[in-house]
Structure 1
Amino acid sequence: MRLDSFCYRFIWRLKRRFYRYKDKCGPIPIVEREQPCRHFAPPATVLATVQQRNCPEQLANFERLCAQLQFIPRVATYLPTQLEERDWHRLLELHSAKERLCYLTFLVKRNKMRQKTEHKKAQMQLMRSGGGGTAMPKTEEEEDELEEEFEEEEEGRKIVEEEEEKEERDKEEEEEKGDEQRTATRKNKAFALPFISTANRIAASHRYIRSLQLAETPRIAFDCRFLTLHSKRGLNLTMLQLQMLLSANRDRQMPWPIHLCNFPSTSSSTDDDGTGGADAGAVAEVHALCRMRLNSLDSTRCVTGELHTESYTELFPELRSADKIVYLSPHSKESLTHIDPDACYVIGAIVDRAREPRIPPKASLLVSEEEQLPCRRFPIPPEFLRGGNPMLTLVQAMTILQHVFHSPGGDDWHGAFEQYIPKRKRLAPAEKNTVIRLRYDNIHTRNREMARIVEQRIPTTAAAANVDQQQTNNGGGRSDQKMAVGMRFLSRIFG
């Protein structure tokens, strides 16, 4: 054991005895154990796939991954119990130890969330069936609480049934037929719900078609040319946001026309010159997530939006000539003062959660300048963005536009920002919870140290080092690097 490691561990334990909150003691010491807490063995199918490709770089990456998965369980405990085949393929696509550790942490959180959801569903089934389910609580205290809830619910159900029977007997002579219909409806609600849902979908489709016919609201176009440049995590988050905004817009009394433009097609990935086309694998992944997340676009029961491979300038040439296609970007210098009902507002389909190395920070501004479109930003006061990141989610951007447009006078920007901008963006770092902030700082510091230890014990291969260096250059902080990234991005997008 190194002297500095021993001293830090001794001081941390000493602080732990005197401090009330363990977060004030600093990051938890990293202890390397002799025996790993998990054993991860690669499936035979993954090994066969790597051998069939016969690529030295991929084989070296696979060997490095196996070595890391043998060493990581010796220094970390927050790990999944097992890895599926798709998890191995996903880990092979990652190159740095930091990315792989983050993905393993994500798997643990996802499994816990699934277990929590299944436990809640089992409890709800038990409560609805009166204790006839098969799910069992985790502890004896939870079992006693559930038994008490079931007993109270059973007594209440008996009282309700007795009252219903009494009412039925009293009204049987006067309204025999109507009473039978009401009883059948009350006892067969589960069979009536699908018809109600279908009726709601039909009504939502009628409202959307009516908004298209009347054309009283602006059009919203989402620029989907960035989808193929996202990482898998970023693409999944972007598709999830598109799914949420389609559902939110569908449920409005006056929905807005939504157009998903510049959607990547299979023909664009097989260009002859190879400059303007997207990667075939990325396009296939986008279409697979589209079938999973945006299946409502192909539904015959409900109309929620339109998907186009053409650009918004090709769909609305008359608006282009009238300068009524406005690109929204948080990096624009000019603010959006009013919302024109005859205009089309374009929002870039870019995830706001994490930094994407293949997408420059000002991608929407670069696209608007290249296409010579007016670019505007929301007039957000500085006090609403004291938290830092000025980027909003796709759902937040659309709801702000709808709130301002339908407000009296059409200028309630302050009310929209107050309602739809999260509180975490409005609070300065000093105003946030110091204990929670300190806890996450300790977690991030410990994760960085753990990634450094893994990289030190298992060095990066030459191929992975080149990929990491390329990603670092793409995310560089100097102006010349940003300009180079922007030029490569525009050449990739516009060919």
Structure 2
Amino acid sequence: MNNILRFRRMLPTVQCMSFIFQRVTESELRLSFYKTAYVNESYYPSRRVFSTHCRDTGNTESEVSDCEPVPNTEQIDLNTVTNGDPELEKRLKVLFLEVEVMRQEGDKVPANLNINHWKELINMATRSMRRKYLTFLWKNEVKKANEQKKKEEKKKIREEELNVLKQIDDGHIQYGLSRNSIFMRVYDSTITQFDNSRLIQAMQFGQKLVVDCGYDMHMTSRECMNCAKQLMLLFAENRFHRDPFNLYFCNIDRNGHTMKELHKYINTLYDDHFPLNITEKSYLDLFPKENLVYLTPHCREEMLTFDHDAVYIIGGIVDKVNKEPLSLAKAKKEGLRMAKLPLDRYLTWGSGSGKSLTLNQMIQILLDLRFTGDWKIALKHVPRRKITQDDGKFYGQFNKKGLSRNKVFSKYRTASFN
């Protein structure tokens, strides 16, 4: 009990202690006492920092050689996370202790948490949400560590093979790239320029496709991050296609969460030479209203044929939490034509599977539908896990022909030139 009383005196506020005691047993507190992370309210020129201390010696980890290092020893600037809000600062102190207790309990907690991670944690209302987020970060950390380990192992094997090849002198010409190619290396930058050339041509002559990025206020932080990743994949799928769309990202907010995350994926997003139309304007200000068609799964009108003169609009939203028909309401309010993909007409959905599609799957369907005009080919991008295994209406009929996707494209391309 003496250790527990000493632990109490080390905490900054009684409120923090009451919050912790609701979730921590006495044995866990004894364990936490010997390896405690607490707030050292020492003032530096313009910031307050969180320092990790060991046991009760009062020395930091850098000054104690026999102290077991606690993960995440990076000094966190409290003012950067809380913007000087005393309530948020108090909550952040509690989060420091909560994460440390979870780590000592053996939960899946990442070794390093940066400022952005703490900002996400401080905005989460429940402990279960924070636990799930920490588990997600831990899995990403383990995945990166395993990938780095595999790279090092492959590098070591490659170096050993090169050493063996150098010792062999059979009189033949030794080509470059580990003696396995007579061709020059094609760099990633060259491939990127080749892919971007198709987008530049599409920006001049291609059909326009709009992504409505005005749903930030209706998405959670995790949904915004997921939406940004899907937008990145959407751009990539469009760029890799042989006949891409002329993409427009409308209603964007450069200070919004989604665009900030997207900018992390694509560093050159706002450069003048980047082959993508990004604007804060609405699509109503850019295109004639009679040409706009909003694709929403909540309307009744099915899109049976592809209109090459229409400007289709995709809602840039991930609605895992909010299931309200926001895109339907927006299209009705603006008086636009609406349509939905004829998924039920061509597919048999499995029990319990949702009919929602990601943004990159949507553009894959539209690209192939525009190129071939065949729904059976376009809907191949719907994940197989969402439909029944014996779906004879679509997959069985297509696979019986024994045609691959490239052969089908070649058939349609040949027919178009004849």
Given the two structures, how large is their TM-score scaled by the length of structure 1?
Answer: 0.58
**What is residue 241 of structure 1 aligned with on the other side?**
230
Distance 2:355 2:81 in 1: 46
- 2:297 equivalent to 1:325: no
The residue type paired with residue 154 of structure 2 is M
**What is residue 396 of structure 1 aligned with on the other side?**
361
1:279-290, aligned counterparts within 5 Å?
283=255, 285-290=257-262
Report Cα offsets for 1:392-421 as digits up to 9, x if no partner: 1111000011112212xx1x223332x211
The residue type paired with residue 128 of structure 1 is R
The residue type paired with residue 293 of structure 1 is Y
Report Cα offsets for 1:402-444 as digits up to 9, x if no partner: 112212xx1x223332x2111222259xxxxxxxxxxxxxxxx
1:204-243, aligned counterparts within 5 Å?
204-215=195-206, 218-243=207-232
Report Cα offsets for 1:268-326 as digits up to 9, x if no partner: xxxxxxxxxxxxxxx2544533432233444576x542111111121112xx1xx3211
Q: Does the Cα contact within 8 Å between 2:294 and 2:314 map onto a contact in 1?
A: yes
Distance 1:54 1:246 in 2: 38
Aligned partner of 2:381 among 396, 403, 420: 420
Change (3 A) 1:70 1:300: closer
Q: Does the Cα contact within 8 Å between 1:220 and 1:346 map onto a contact in 2?
A: yes
1:23-42, aligned counterparts within 5 Å?
34-35=27-28, 41=38
Change (3 A) 1:82 1:309: closer
Change (3 A) 1:98 1:255: same
Change (3 A) 1:48 1:345: closer
Distance 2:385 2:180 in 1: 45
- 2:335 equivalent to 1:372: yes
Report Cα offsets for 1:331-373 as digits up to 9, x if no partner: 1111111111111111111125x325xxx52111111111111
SS in 1 for 2:302: coil
Report Cα offsets for 1:209-255 as digits up to 9, x if no partner: 3233333xx32110011135433322222111111221221122221
Distance 2:311 2:365 in 1: 15
Unaligned runs of 5+ residues in structure 2 are: 1-22, 40-49, 52-74, 390-418
**RMSD, aligned α-carbons:** 3.6
Distance 2:182 2:80 in 1: 50
Report Cα offsets for 1:157-199 as digits up to 9, x if no partner: 469x645x43x4xxxxxxxxxxxxx946886989954x64343
Aligned partner of 2:266 among 274, 279, 294: 294
Q: Does the Cα contact within 8 Å between 1:328 and 1:375 map onto a contact in 2?
A: yes
Distance 2:292 2:183 in 1: 47
The residue type paired with residue 27 of structure 2 is E
Distance 2:97 2:301 in 1: 53
SS in 2 for 1:397: helix
Distance 1:185 1:74 in 2: 48
Aligned partner of 2:239 among 243, 246, 250: 250
Q: Does the Cα contact within 8 Å between 1:228 and 1:264 map onto a contact in 2?
A: no
The residue type paired with residue 121 of structure 2 is L
Aligned partner of 1:120 among 140, 150, 154: 150
Change (3 A) 1:40 1:368: farther
SS in 1 for 2:209: strand
**What is residue 280 of structure 1 aligned with on the other side?**
none
**What is residue 317 of structure 2 aligned with on the other side?**
350
Q: Does the Cα contact within 8 Å between 2:210 and 2:314 map onto a contact in 1?
A: yes
Distance 1:94 1:219 in 2: 39
Distance 2:204 2:309 in 1: 13
Q: Greater RCO between the two (CA within 8 Å, min separation 6)?
A: 1
**What is residue 405 of structure 1 aligned with on the other side?**
370
Change (3 A) 1:34 1:423: farther
SS in 2 for 1:295: coil
1:128-147, aligned counterparts within 5 Å?
128-130=158-160
- 2:250 equivalent to 1:261: yes
The residue type paired with residue 338 of structure 2 is C
SS in 1 for 2:133: helix
Distance 1:329 1:425 in 2: 19
Q: Does the Cα contact within 8 Å between 1:33 and 1:74 map onto a contact in 2?
A: no
Distance 2:328 2:291 in 1: 17
Distance 1:399 1:65 in 2: 42
Q: Does the Cα contact within 8 Å between 2:78 and 2:89 map onto a contact in 1?
A: no
Q: Does the Cα contact within 8 Å between 1:404 and 1:413 map onto a contact in 2?
A: yes
Change (3 A) 1:304 1:123: farther
Distance 1:370 1:297 in 2: 31
Q: Does the Cα contact within 8 Å between 1:388 and 1:425 map onto a contact in 2?
A: yes
Aligned partner of 2:127 among 97, 106, 124: 97
SS in 2 for 1:384: coil
- 2:53 equivalent to 1:62: no
Distance 2:196 2:158 in 1: 33
SS in 1 for 2:324: coil
Distance 1:90 1:340 in 2: 43
Distance 1:51 1:312 in 2: 36
Deviation at 1:107, TM superposition (A): 2.0
**What is residue 70 of structure 2 aligned with on the other side?**
none
The structure in which a higher percent of residues are helix is 1
Q: How many residues align?
A: 328
**What is residue 455 of structure 1 aligned with on the other side?**
none
Q: Does the Cα contact within 8 Å between 2:82 and 2:89 map onto a contact in 1?
A: no
- 2:295 equivalent to 1:306: no
SS in 2 for 1:213: helix
Q: Does the Cα contact within 8 Å between 2:252 and 2:259 map onto a contact in 1?
A: no
Unaligned runs of 5+ residues in structure 1 are: 1-29, 131-149, 169-181, 266-282, 429-495
Distance 1:196 1:299 in 2: 22
Deviation at 1:388, TM superposition (A): 2.8
Q: Does the Cα contact within 8 Å between 1:250 and 1:304 map onto a contact in 2?
A: no
Change (3 A) 1:185 1:414: closer
Q: Does the Cα contact within 8 Å between 2:230 and 2:358 map onto a contact in 1?
A: yes
SS in 2 for 1:239: helix
Q: Does the Cα contact within 8 Å between 2:248 and 2:276 map onto a contact in 1?
A: yes
